[in-house]
Amino acid sequence: MIEADFIRKGSRDGLLFGFTVKGHAGWADRGEDVVCAAVSSAVELACNTITDFFGVDAEVIVVPDEGRIELYLPPFAVKDDSPSVKLISSLMEHLIFISEDYPGTVSVTVR
């Protein structure tokens, strides 16, 4: 199962400022898994948009051997009107939709 853990700043209603996504969906064999491909593509798009297009110096950690990618926004980028915060929220919703379409493949948590 793919585990997607999103992190809020402060309270339960705080803004999202980071995430960790890791694992394998198990929908099909490696290299043939459309769920893994969809999740990987969405996560890479979010990371690349935040760092390359928005120009935010976010901390991005990629550990290929573990199938893990993490992104953390710097404190100055965590604001209500931040495009990066909105994109992380959008990524979370997208992964929730995938988990509903392909039950048992993606787990989304928020802490």
Give phi and psi for 56, each to the nearest 5: -85, 135
pLDDT at residue number 12 = 67
The per-residue pLDDT for 10 is 76
Token code pair at residue 39: 């999740």
Q: Which two tokens stand for residue 98?
A: 């995938």
- Measured N-to-C along each axis, helices 34-48 and 83-101 cross at an angle, to the nearest 10 degrees, of 180
pLDDT score for 14: 86
Note the pLDDT of residue 11. 67
Instruction: Sketch the domain layout of the chain as residue ranges.
Output: 2-110
- Distance, C-alpha 43 to centroid of its chain: 5
Superfamily of domain 2-110: Cysteine protease Prp (3.30.70.1490)
DSSP state of 50: I
pLDDT in tens, the chain (111 residues): 999 999 998 766 789 999 999 999 999 988 899 999 999 999 999 999 999 999 999 999 999 999 999 999 999 999 989 999 999 999 999 999 999 999 999 999 999
* pLDDT of 9: 87
8, 16 contact by CB (below 8 A): yes
